[in-house]
Structure 1
């Protein structure tokens, strides 16, 4: 894009920060290359005038950040273009963001690989080697073994799709990514680089020509298939590499001995199972979702087994098969003589190869539902793999036994035949209404029949794929133990004695429900079905904490403390009742919904609440940000594992407990004052209606982000209860206000600073208490993505100067006091990489914000518009929404 990819890139936003983070040479080169090629494509498509207009806006927003022009002058420039021209300009900036994000991803991957080269005396921070070193120093051998044996990491992909990009756009970006990797590959000749550059230009041209907006609404199965891309392209191959790193950290000789730990990662999914507020998720959808998952994982297992079988050419003369393997081959020949004979003919004298090809054939039969040859369960497949593994080990071929074959064992242990445990979620009121109908004895409504059908589908899934494929049933807005008992009663109505095994999980979301959660769990222990489940699973009880709705209700600061207190209370309750507690953290991708760096979040948990187990939701754009590339996915899972191990040690728990005890009164004052300020705004009469006017809230639904309705009920929102947390956060991000991520904290900090020692106590809390540090750092990130001058233009659209003034005053206060407490000279002064990312994007996000404001102002003005004019304005608005989401790398 002409100058968009030029050497100005590293100077883009040196205006509202007192310092600019220098862009590394490799990243600058990629940004310049991709931006220049995009500029060429735009000029070819729309002529030099289009590129010139793009450049005018780019230079104007940079000048506005430097203070040499006003935002009013930028708005005036945007207002001179016909809508169709503005649409093309919005597309240009959106495409640029996709390419800038791609360049940063490539730079991050290069950085990770560079860190992984050579032998370091001290293990790098966040690595598995560092975690193993530290836990061995803090725990005895028995405690280390106990912690490792109980280690669990459970990421749950959720049915909250906040990924604003079309799948076609994502695919186009992936093709650009592949060509960029080819272009940058070391040792390539000039002709090879020229061809790579030509292919890059071809793919960027196609990205430009690909429609950015979805023409049809996603259904739940579209969401399932989209999530499968992360599995197919990354997770299946990456998870064994994480285990391999852990095994290497635990002791020398990995790949030549049995692994020192078991497979500890288990994926879950709500996609196709979460029906809370989504009538599109039915029993039929849940059934088909599991079948899609099974098809993908069985295909992957079949391919892996086939690959190993074809390469395992160890001859019997040099690698003698064990008696167990010979017996297994003999039994297989009795059962399937033609198939085994075929393998023996193709691979004479290679019994291990024959066996693995036979295993691959059985996996293929499992996928096809050929019951004569299919495996009945993953356990049966694992048994056959271990026959081969043990035979190889006995013959001295330990590298063959514990190399690639071990990777396949780990993949089966992690993914089974179902890939991810499908979890069902429904609102407690739906269950209550269903039971009321059933007890009345009359005809059942369609919704009640659907509840019963869902339970029958769970039973069908368990019969076909095992209990671990689908047994968790999450109850939203759990208020009492009766809400849990209702699900078990419904299961009896649905299937009687054939009811499926269910772990009914309470979800506590509001401040009141979080405070009441221990009492609810005590009531659960009196339910016979819960008693039976606890007896069967070693007294393991799962509890989910909702970050999104608690933050929407209380504000970010108060919600953070209330969630921490709930963790403390639940941990104490679990010890008192001899229960192994697993906390399930319902965190969103955005900072206003509990988002932020996952490893830091783990280390900020209440002492004793982790205990080697961490379960968390992974949502929308976060799924692809964390699991879209193997190197990044591996690093993420290793960092979280590192944090889970360290957070479970007495040393870390002791420091955290001491800090929490010291600073609890201070935090409580912050929480009370911040919640008061937050509620004073959000519960004020007219606030929901004002919010709908100043943001593209109403238009977000037209983006067709997912199958779930954006709002409860119809019409404009009358209270925050009418809004789901995702559009609430997404809409505020679009306005450049990011209110859910920071509002109220300034008032909370100001309340402490009224005392003479208040500031020093706040600084000490920031230094010593991980929870408080995480809260301030996350709010600082949210403030850095806020633009006050552009935000003010959005806030003015609502015609309520009082609300607008209130928001901007709290922003000014929060920004000032956060910098005072952290001691930072500017926002993100201690986060070089993130600061660079924000600075790189800020001016281009500004450009799209001005385009969006033009469309929003026209649509809100009340002026008579023709249908055609309204359609064109809506297209501009939605394109700008899409582009701002790409630029901020954040939606809901």
Structure 2
């Protein structure tokens, strides 16, 4: 087995260390460089157990001025960033080495290895089919990252990584290789002179954009994993099929308003729009790519009847398409059909929150419709002996459609249960349902929620509190989003500090109320909002079993749950669990 040498990592760290040392000397002078080197050497000695240096190091740190402190903190911050970069590259070398050494067998900890292990253990088709049906990985982005690099810093580090990757290429000409250290040093000079800390706190919408920066990586990796799973099943379990997405992506950024007054209804609405725009832009780019690539001529190759019929049907259904399709050679039916898809995606992108797809010519009502249109291309290629083109160029897009839809990632909403309790109290007082709802026992509150569920809310908004007004506005936005963008755009509604069944029933009450927004819609009965209790304090965790049992045994709540496949998502434990009961109890 060939393992990447640790000396490769050590050599790279040394190379980067020397170059950043040169940069420090050039910009901050010999004095700055010597200070950094002195502190670095002392720290290394301390790590080897030489405690005599501790007092000397403390003395040096205590005596430096603000400018020297800036030099030290910047130097060690960059040292650590460069070390992390080198370690990431070493990890990739190790993983690649494992794959090479294992080939043609699957490398450990891969999708293919799991399926092969099932096969080696004699698992039946039924067992594996059940496993594949249940397998689902949900990755959720939050606004609480373990690190918060500025985009400028991330870009510079990424450029450095690309330079080092290029240096590894065996095909790089010697003259070009000789230039790499100079280019690396240029990047390091920029890094040294760039602020690592934002001068202003980022807004919520800036955080949303930062989260969307991961979209391209996720978009590209999904088809590869889907292909690996499909190929493994084909090789070991040809009768087993994966029909539902393996990955689901979500985000709390722009939806998590628990303790954050800056996450307003407008911010959430904008987040929904940006997520949709990102998805449609990505699909349009795939459409452009496929249109350039799939230049097969009807005269030189057989074209599936389904493609020809689909183009003819589209022309008849949407006459405005005819002039657009006339720009495509009539013998290139695949390109004509791709142009139809492109036009429909463009029409879909014009939909606003209060629009209906049925009212905009050609707009897709759901990602499933797009999936059907792209499937026609794949199936036609397969039927005419071009399966290899279908699998390499069309199937990846189909995988992306199934996983990312028209929303890239669903947006979870989170709010504290106490806020919703106050909102309901405000509504009941304003409507005369109860004079002092805050004094109700849990059983009475439970009963009042169910007895008024779905009732019209006739009240002057001027008498409602700001929290109530914002909450009703939020649910109005969610309802419009579900109607126009589809329910996949909306993730779970997480209720922080869930203590009693009424905490979840309150959210159900508000969701049912939102059916009256804009006069209602025939699609409302199909729009189900997943309600997610978050049990946090130790006492609430202990009571979680009783709380859930009460909810699941309630006929009204259970009927609502059955509309979602009778599945209930629960979150247990969070930072407040540790604050309340300590690390061990919080994890237990």
Distance in 1 between the 2:399 and 2:369 partners? Answer: 14
Distance in 2 between the 1:445 and 1:471 partners? Answer: 27
User: In the alignment, what sits opposite 1:382?
Assistant: 371
Which residue of 426, 438, 450 maps to 2:470? Answer: 450
**What is the SS of the residue equivalent to 2:143?**
coil
User: In the alignment, what sits opposite 2:406?
Assistant: 417
Is 1:400 the counterpart of 2:384? The answer is: no
Distance in 2 between the 1:299 and 1:42 partners? Answer: 43
User: In the alignment, what sits opposite 2:450?
Assistant: none
Given that 2:258 and 2:416 are in contact with CA atoms closer than 8 Å, whether structure 1 keeps it comes out as yes
Which residue of 423, 429, 437 maps to 1:440? Answer: 429
Closer/same/farther in 2, CA of residues 308 and 424 from structure 1, 3 Å limit = same
Is 1:310 the counterpart of 2:296? The answer is: no
User: In the alignment, what sits opposite 2:208?
Assistant: 224
User: In the alignment, what sits opposite 1:763?
Assistant: none
Is 1:139 the counterpart of 2:166? The answer is: no
Closer/same/farther in 2, CA of residues 47 and 91 from structure 1, 3 Å limit = same
User: In the alignment, what sits opposite 1:840?
Assistant: none
Once the 2 structures are TM-superposed, how far is the Cα of residue 369 of structure 1 from its aligned partner?
Answer: 4.0
Q: Which has the higher contact order (CA 8 A, sep 6+)?
A: 1
Once the 2 structures are TM-superposed, how far is the Cα of residue 539 of structure 1 from its aligned partner?
Answer: 0.9
Distance in 1 between the 2:345 and 2:64 partners? Answer: 60
Given that 2:345 and 2:363 are in contact with CA atoms closer than 8 Å, whether structure 1 keeps it comes out as yes
Distance in 2 between the 1:537 and 1:231 partners? Answer: 28
Given that 1:27 and 1:107 are in contact with CA atoms closer than 8 Å, whether structure 2 keeps it comes out as yes
Distance in 2 between the 1:29 and 1:376 partners? Answer: 56
> Residues 837-890 of structure 1, C-alpha deviation per residue, up to 9 Å, x if partnerless?
xxxxxxxxxxxxxxxxxxxxxxxxxxxxxxxxxxxxxxxxxxxxxxxxxxxxxx
Which residue of 215, 220, 227 maps to 2:199? Answer: 215
**What is the SS of the residue equivalent to 1:555?**
helix
Given that 2:125 and 2:240 are in contact with CA atoms closer than 8 Å, whether structure 1 keeps it comes out as no
Which residue of 471, 481, 486 maps to 1:461? Answer: 481
Which residue of 542, 545, 556 maps to 2:569? Answer: 542
**What is the SS of the residue equivalent to 1:164?**
coil
**What is the SS of the residue equivalent to 2:349?**
helix
Which residue of 186, 202, 224 maps to 1:241? Answer: 224
> Residues 14-46 of structure 1, C-alpha deviation per residue, up to 9 Å, x if partnerless?
xxxxxxxx9712212221222222112111111
Once the 2 structures are TM-superposed, how far is the Cα of residue 381 of structure 1 from its aligned partner?
Answer: 0.4
Question: What pairs up with 1:658-677 in 2 under 5 angstroms?
Answer: none
User: In the alignment, what sits opposite 1:190?
Assistant: 174
**What is the SS of the residue equivalent to 1:472?**
strand
Question: What pairs up with 1:547-562 in 2 under 5 angstroms?
Answer: 547-561=574-588
> Residues 490-530 of structure 1, C-alpha deviation per residue, up to 9 Å, x if partnerless?
23444448476322111111222222212111221244553
TM-score by length of 2: 0.86
Is 1:366 the counterpart of 2:366? The answer is: no
**What is the SS of the residue equivalent to 2:493?**
strand
**What is the SS of the residue equivalent to 1:540?**
coil
Given that 2:528 and 2:564 are in contact with CA atoms closer than 8 Å, whether structure 1 keeps it comes out as no
Q: What is the CA RMSD across the aligned residues, in angstroms?
A: 2.5
User: In the alignment, what sits opposite 2:534?
Assistant: 507
User: In the alignment, what sits opposite 2:133?
Assistant: 149
Is 1:24 the counterpart of 2:13? The answer is: no
Structure 1, gaps ≥5 residues long: 1-21, 562-892
Closer/same/farther in 2, CA of residues 325 and 381 from structure 1, 3 Å limit = same
Distance in 2 between the 1:553 and 1:409 partners? Answer: 46
Question: What pairs up with 1:672-683 in 2 under 5 angstroms?
Answer: none
User: In the alignment, what sits opposite 2:496?
Assistant: 476
Once the 2 structures are TM-superposed, how far is the Cα of residue 349 of structure 1 from its aligned partner?
Answer: 2.0
Once the 2 structures are TM-superposed, how far is the Cα of residue 158 of structure 1 from its aligned partner?
Answer: 1.5
Which residue of 88, 96, 105 maps to 1:113? Answer: 96
Structure 2, gaps ≥5 residues long: 353-359, 432-462
Once the 2 structures are TM-superposed, how far is the Cα of residue 337 of structure 1 from its aligned partner?
Answer: 5.2
Closer/same/farther in 2, CA of residues 335 and 205 from structure 1, 3 Å limit = farther
Distance in 2 between the 1:379 and 1:529 partners? Answer: 31
Question: What pairs up with 1:255-294 in 2 under 5 angstroms?
Answer: 260-294=242-276
Bigger CA drift: 114-123 or 345-354?
114-123
**What is the SS of the residue equivalent to 1:96?**
helix
Number of matched pairs: 538
User: In the alignment, what sits opposite 2:447?
Assistant: none
User: In the alignment, what sits opposite 2:511?
Assistant: 491
Is 1:62 the counterpart of 2:17? The answer is: no
> Residues 126-162 of structure 1, C-alpha deviation per residue, up to 9 Å, x if partnerless?
1112211233426321121122123211111123234
Distance in 1 between the 2:498 and 2:542 partners? Answer: 12
Which residue of 76, 79, 90 maps to 1:96? Answer: 79
